Amino acid sequence: MLQTVWWLVPKLSLVLMIAVATHLVMSFAQTLMHYKLGHHPMGGDLFRNHIKFHHTYYSKDHLVSRTPLGQEGNNTPFFFIPVFLVGGCTYLVLPTDLFVVQVAACAVSFYAHVFFDKEYHVEGSRLQRFGWFRRKQELHFSHHRHADSNFAVIDFFWDRILGTYRKSDA
């Protein structure tokens, strides 16, 4: 029994490391794409969609609504492009079990990004009871008030690294 447990420890450590690394790469890619494509004309249609819809529906003092708005201009599907590119490359180098861990972590990270972005803008979100959520929401709202900052949705330390971090206005 003890021998089995000792065999699992390095394997579980590797699984955890792959999952965390996958989330961090996904989070950074989301932040960078939001920054460089969603808020710069070089983003083309992604830029126009993001500004025309998301930042039009949620701007200045109108940052929440009873239900999520602006789904027709949603750029989220375009985030799948780098996901598939990275996934294809890692499929070739990772063993199958670790590739499955990466795919699962990628899916959870992607879902969390979409979920939090929606919850930030829903009036009376059930997550409002948590202080960590309210802090992240205020950082996100600072982005809507000052579109040149706080491009992350979950991990705002990326904004500190990119030099785009702004304290919340609240």
Per-residue model confidence as pLDDT tens digits over 149-158: 999 999 999 9
Q: First CA to last CA across the chain, in angstroms?
A: 54
156 in any annotated domain: yes
39 in any annotated domain: yes
Counting Cα atoms < 13 Å in the Cβ hemisphere of 22 gives 25
Residue 59 pairs with which residues in a beta bridge?
A: 62
Q: How far apart are CA 133 and CA 121, in angstroms?
A: 12
62 in any annotated domain: no
pLDDT (0 to 100) of residue 103 = 93
Number of structural domains in the chain: 1
10 in any annotated domain: yes
Contacts of 151 (CB under 8 A, 6+ apart): 31, 32, 34, 35, 38, 39, 143, 158, 159, 162, 164
pLDDT (0 to 100) of residue 136 = 96
78 in any annotated domain: yes
User: Quick check: 120 and 140 in contact, CB under 8 A?
Assistant: yes
129 in any annotated domain: yes
The parent domain of residue 18 ranges over: 2-56+71-162
87 in any annotated domain: yes
94 in any annotated domain: yes
Tens of pLDDT, residues 85-115: 888 889 999 999 999 999 999 999 989 998 9
